[in-house]
């Protein structure tokens, strides 16, 4: 299973896997080595689908600035689809309610405890629902705020003050929370920061270019940390 293999490989080996061209067979396109992000589709009424250029732009930025070979496309998956387990990285966002069924809870728990990684970004309005639903997956754990010294903030680009402030929302300080399984960060959640909106096309939110670049750099750190830990 891809997520299990990536979990056990050092970053240099991951880069080799993602960079070395595979021999084409019968002129079929090479896709097996390329890193992808899957948008997590969920029920409950929240707009899980908003900002469809976000992952595309982030993956392009990662490909331009690292040795990670990316497939810059927008893909989504729901928990009932076995393809979910082929993605090492899931991303979810939205403005409203989230609802995981018992079946989805079990599937996500299996995914996360067997090498998968989930990044969730509150796009303003999903905080209460996300905290409630993630508690179903890890009932014995709490989301813990990550200190500024945590490695994710320094693993590629340096963020000495932790999560950047991309959008104001309620004007509170930006925060990054995590859930750990056997010492590995398996869920990363950003609140009052909304870096994924900064990945969108420039005309979507009108963010200044320095703010967009900061958000893209931070997204790169999240991906690098997920692949190396």
Query: At residue 17, does pLDDT exceed 50?
Result: no
| pLDDT band at residue 134 under the 50/70/90 scheme | very high
Which are the contacts of 158, defined by CB distance < 8 A and separation ≥ 6?
Answer: none
CATH code of domain 2-228? 3.40.50.12140
Spatial CA neighbour of 64 closest among 199, 168, 189, 217 = 217
**Taking 50 as the threshold, does the pLDDT of residue 44 lie above it?**
yes
With 60 as the cut, is the pLDDT of residue 87 above it? yes
pLDDT at 33: 65
What per-residue confidence (pLDDT) applies to 179? Answer: 98
pLDDT for the residue numbered 153: 98
In whole angstroms, what is the distance from residue 49 CA to residue 40 CA?
A: 9
SS3 173: coil
Between the CA of residue 9 and those of 4, 21, 36, 109, 170, what are the distances in Å? 9, 18, 17, 22, 40
Whether residue 156 is predicted with pLDDT greater than 70 in this model: the reply is yes
Kindly list the domain boundaries of the chain, sorted by start residue: 2-228
Residue 220: closest CA among 146, 164, 136, 139: 164
User: CA-to-CA distance for 225 and 229, rounded, in angstroms?
Assistant: 6
């Amino acid at each position: 299973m891809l997520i299990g293999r990536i979990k056990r490989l050092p970053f240099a080996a991951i880069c080799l896997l993602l960079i070395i061209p595979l021999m084409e067979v019968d002129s079929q396109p090479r896709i097996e080595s390329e890193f992808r992000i899957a948008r997590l589709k969920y029920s409950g009424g929240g707009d899980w689908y908003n900002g469809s250029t976000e992952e595309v732009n982030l993956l392009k930025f990662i490909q331009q600035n690292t040795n990670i070979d990316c497939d810059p496309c927008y893909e989504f998956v729901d928990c009932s689809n076995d393809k979910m387990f082929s993605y090492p990285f899931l991303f979810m966002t939205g403005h409203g309610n989230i609802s995981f069924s018992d079946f989805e809870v079990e599937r996500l728990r299996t995914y996360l405890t067997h090498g998968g990684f989930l990044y969730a970004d509150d796009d303003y309005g999903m905080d209460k629902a996300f905290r409630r639903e993630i508690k179903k997956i890890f009932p014995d754990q709490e989301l813990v705020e990550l200190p500024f010294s945590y490695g994710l903030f320094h693993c590629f680009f340096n963020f000495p003050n932790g999560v950047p402030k991309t959008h104001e929302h309620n004007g509170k300080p930006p925060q990054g929370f995590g859930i750990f399984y056997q010492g590995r960060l398996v869920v990363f959640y950003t609140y009052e920061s909304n870096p994924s909106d900064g990945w969108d096309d420039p005309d979507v939110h009108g963010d200044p270019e320095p703010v967009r670049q900061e958000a893209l750099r931070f997204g790169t750190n999240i991906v690098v940390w997920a692949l190396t830990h």
